[in-house]
């Protein structure tokens, strides 16, 4: 049978749709597997192991299978559990405040009466362009009572704030995170506002909707998916809180080596306890998935009932 026979031609045509998606996906899938999936798989495998020394502390290390021993150790570690609860409290307060600030700023810049919109967008977004370490160092100087002009000025009127105290340090970190990421979330929400159909906004204005009513009853419900998206990203970022407390840790004793889950994992890895650090990392990823997925389910159910 010739290769130009209609049967062979039909087989070649059927094979092309199967090969084409694979060819287009390969440039993405290879880096994704090597950079994302492979490290996760390696962390999971390493978390199921432990290092033993046959001849005491100075004996040769041997990696053996430990099962879920590292996870049991993490769950029974009161400091690690406290760090999880700490960042959850942080997120419950900080994420709504930050998203609320970003939403208000986006609505103000999007309003018809706003002037110099490009300047205000850039001014609000600018803190996000500053590296996290630099931002934390800058705020650390403003928090330090020995260097801060803010604390010195408040002291002259009889107020002695302790931004680095045990009861205030968590919210001082929240202030840094909000200052850094509110502008980024504002840009996302502002882009969603710009994508709204103009005829809907114009019809609401013709019906007599004022700026406040137009914002709260028309614009906010229409950009609800964008608000949920920024909230999910913020929740995930909260559970991965690392840079700000790690930098402020150098100027205050109220941030310990297990203050947040990621700092606890970093401290374990720094002590060459890699299996335990891997177990902590996997648990952090699991908690992040559960919390973010639960938030998505909650918002989806709320949108259906409303």
Sequence ranges of the domains in the chain: 6-47, 69-305
Q: Which CATH superfamily is domain 69-305 in?
A: MetI-like (1.10.3720.10)
pLDDT of residue 257: 92
Short-list 7, 13, 72, CA closest to 276: 72
pLDDT of residue 242: 94
Q: What is the mean pLDDT of each run of 10 residues along the chain (306 residues)?
A: 51 60 82 87 89 66 83 93 95 95 93 82 92 90 84 75 87 94 94 87 79 85 92 92 92 92 94 91 92 89 65
Name the one residue in this structure whose structure tokens are 């406040």: 212
Tokens of 21: 């998606």
pLDDT of residue 114: 74
The alpha-helical segments, DSSP class H, found in the chain are 6-32, 38-47, 69-75, 78-110, 117-125, 132-143, 149-156, 169-194, 198-206, 211-213, 220-222, 224-239, 243-248, 261-270, 274-305
Report the b/e string of 244-277 with b at 16+ CB within 10 A.
Answer: bbbbbbebbebbeebbbbbbbbbbbbeeebbbbb
pLDDT of residue 36: 84
Short-list 68, 104, 243, CA closest to 185: 104
Q: Which residues contact 302 (CB under 8 A, 6 or more apart)?
A: none
């Amino acid at each position: 049978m010739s290769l130009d026979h209609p049967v062979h031609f039909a087989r070649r045509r059927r094979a092309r749709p199967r090969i084409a998606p694979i060819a287009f996906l390969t440039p993405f899938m290879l880096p994704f597997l090597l950079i994302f999936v492979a490290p996760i798989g390696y962390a999971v495998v390493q978390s199921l192991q432990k290092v033993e020394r046959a001849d005491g502390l100075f004996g040769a290390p041997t990696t053996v299978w430990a099962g879920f021993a590292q996870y049991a150790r993490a769950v029974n570690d009161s400091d690690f559990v406290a760090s999880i609860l700490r960042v959850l409290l942080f997120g419950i307060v900080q994420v709504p405040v930050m998203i609320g600030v970003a939403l208000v700023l986006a609505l103000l810049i999007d309003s018809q009466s706003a002037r110099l919109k490009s300047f205000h967008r850039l001014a609000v977004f600018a803190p996000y362009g500053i590296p996290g370490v630099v931002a934390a160092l800058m705020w650390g100087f403003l928090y330090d009572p020995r260097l801060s002009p803010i604390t010195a000025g408040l002291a002259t009127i009889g107020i002695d704030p302790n931004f680095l105290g045990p009861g205030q340090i968590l919210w001082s970190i929240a202030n840094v995170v909000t200052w850094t990421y509110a502008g980024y979330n504002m840009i996302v929400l502002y882009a969603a506002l710009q994508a709204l159909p103009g005829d809907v906004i114009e019809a609401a204005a013709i019906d007599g909707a004022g700026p406040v009513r137009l914002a709260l009853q028309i614009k906010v419900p229409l950009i609800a998916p964008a608000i949920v998206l920024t909230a999910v990203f913020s929740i995930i970022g909260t559970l991965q809180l690392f840079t700000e407390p790690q930098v402020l840790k150098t100027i205050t004793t109220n941030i310990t080596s297990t203050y947040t889950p990621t700092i606890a994992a970093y401290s374990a890895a720094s002590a060459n306890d890699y299996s335990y650090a891997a177990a902590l990392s996997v648990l952090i990823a699991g908690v992040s998935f559960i919390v973010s997925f639960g938030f998505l389910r909650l918002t989806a159910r709320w949108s259906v009932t409303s």
